[in-house]
Structures are given as structure tokens and as C-alpha cells.
């Protein structure tokens, strides 16, 4: 976990601005994140329309693929790393570790796409061109595997009746020592997955669709996102 946190700090710190070769690099990365979040919202509009999946879709859009600045969270997690290992249940710790590994890959790709875009406007055509230029298809597929691992970890947490009570007990202490964002991630994810009952269909749907889209983009499909309409019909 510590290694991934330090990598995130490096990516989101001054080095990111230098790599972007411009003072507006951070805003360009944020624009990429927002564009992708909007694409995900379109892609899973059918799930978001189902009461069973509404909280889970919101969790993925806000906590897994969100656009909020996590710089303070990363710094606090590094500072409190020994405490995290001591006070949080292993299954919760493992879920956060997988989420951070996913976060590192996502941040690397978002920044790489922003660099590939350069000063071009963020249109769908330019995004696809940048996506293909960045390549790293196997790492893109690794993102999907990590997404499933995070979801499965949260789903497993739901199956342990005493775990949510433990998390609730840790709410106050976590806030006091600067682990509020980590606690929110766990509580929000737990509540969303408990509401969903079982996550098998939800996670399988996301994994399937993301793999299809990656394949269509990398194969040079002129309009790879057109299939989204079919999924939502």
C-alpha cells in the first residue's frame, strides 16, 4: 500500500506539472477524468435506472472513477499507514489496497492521455486518438481485473454481518486521525453493495463492457462507443 501511495503522490505532485509541460496540465487531466466519467455514466445508464444498482453505480462513478482531488487523502494515508494496518480489519485493508492499485493505473492513464492530447480540444475523436497512442492494452485490461477485485472485496465484506458494525465504530476515530476519506470509501462501498444484495451481475456487466470497448478502440473501430446505445436499449 505504501508504495502505491507514494506513487500517487509523485504523480499528483510537482512532477506531474513538469511532465505535462504546462501550467494548465492539472486542468487538462481533470477534463480527461470528467470526460471519462461522463462516458461511464452513459455506458451504465441502464444499471443506474435499476433501483437495485443505483447506489453501486454512484459509488463507482464517485469513488472509483471520480474526479475529486485525492492529494490530501494520499498524504494522510501515508502519514497514518502504520495505524491503518493496526486498526482496520484485514478484509477492509485489502479492499483499500486494491482500490489504490487501481487508482495508480487510472492516474497514469489519465495523465498520459492528457499529454497525448496536448493543446488539442477534448473531442471524442481526439480522445480516441490519444487512447490509441498511449496504448498499454494489457494494463488497460489489468484495470478491469482490479475493478473486479475491489468490487469482490466489498461484496465479501457484505457477507460478514459484524464487519459493518466494526466500520461504524471506527468512524469517529478515523475522522480524528485523518482517515475520513478512507472511512467514507469503505462505508459508502459497503452500503452500496449491501443494497445490491449480490454483485455478480453488476461486476460482470462492467467487466464485459469495458473489455469490449477497449477492443473496439484498439482495433480502430470508427465509432467504438456506438454500442452503448445497444446496451441501453
CB 47 within 8 A of CB 205: yes
The reported pLDDT for the residue numbered 217 is 98
Q: What is the model's pTM? A: 0.87
Q: What is the block-wise mean pLDDT of the chain (233 residues), using blocks of 10 residues? A: 79 61 78 96 97 96 82 68 74 84 92 93 97 96 95 88 72 67 81 92 97 97 96 91
Label residues 128-164 b or e (16+ Cβ within 10 Å = b). Answer: bebbeebeeeeebeebbebbbbbbbbbbebbeeeebb
- Under a CB-based contact definition with an 8 Å cutoff, are residues 149 and 207 in contact? no
Question: Computed over its alpha carbons, how large is the radius of gyration of the chain?
Answer: 18
CB 184 within 8 A of CB 200: no
Cβ atoms 206, 213 nearer than 8 A: no
Question: Which of 36, 34, 39, 28 has the alpha carbon at shortest distance from 118?
Answer: 28
Residue ranges of the alpha helices (H) in the chain? 2-12, 14-20, 25-43, 45-48, 54-59, 71-79, 81-87, 90-117, 124-134, 137-158, 161-169, 171-176, 180-196, 200-218, 227-231
CB of 228 closer than 8 Å to CB of 38: no
pLDDT of 89: 78
Q: What pLDDT was estimated at residue 96? A: 82
Amino acid at each position: 500500500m505504501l508504495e502505491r501511495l507514494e506513487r500517487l503522490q509523485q504523480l499528483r505532485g510537482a512532477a506531474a506539472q513538469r511532465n505535462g509541460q504546462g501550467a494548465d496540465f492539472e486542468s487538462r487531466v481533470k477534463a480527461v477524468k470528467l470526460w471519462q466519467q461522463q462516458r461511464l455514466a452513459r455506458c451504465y445508464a441502464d444499471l443506474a435506472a435499476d433501483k437495485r444498482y443505483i447506489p453501486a453505480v454512484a459509488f463507482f462513478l464517485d469513488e472509483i472513477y471520480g474526479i475529486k482531488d485525492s492529494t490530501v487523502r494520499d498524504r494522510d494515508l501515508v502519514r497514518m499507514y502504520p495505524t491503518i494496518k493496526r486498526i482496520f480489519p484485514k478484509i477492509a485493508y485489502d479492499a483499500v489496497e486494491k482500490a489504490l492499485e487501481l487508482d495508480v493505473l487510472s492516474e497514469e492513464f489519465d495523465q498520459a492521455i492528457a499529454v497525448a492530447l496536448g493543446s488539442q480540444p477534448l473531442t471524442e475523436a481526439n480522445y480516441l486518438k490519444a487512447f490509441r497512442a498511449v496504448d498499454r492494452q494489457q494494463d488497460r485490461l489489468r484495470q478491469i481485473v482490479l475493478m473486479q477485485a475491489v468490487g469482490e472485496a466489498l461484496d465479501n465484506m457484505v457477507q460478514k454481518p459484524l464487519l459493518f458494525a466494526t466500520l461504524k465504530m471506527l468512524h469517529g476515530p478515523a475522522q480524528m486521525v485523518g482517515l475520513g476519506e478512507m472511512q467514507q470509501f469503505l462505508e459508502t462501498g459497503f452500503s452500496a453493495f449491501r443494497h445490491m444484495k449480490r454483485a455478480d451481475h453488476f461486476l460482470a456487466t462492467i467487466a464485459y463492457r469495458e473489455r469490449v470497448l477497449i477492443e473496439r478502440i484498439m482495433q480502430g473501430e470508427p465509432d467504438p462507443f456506438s454500442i452503448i446505445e445497444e446496451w441501453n436499449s
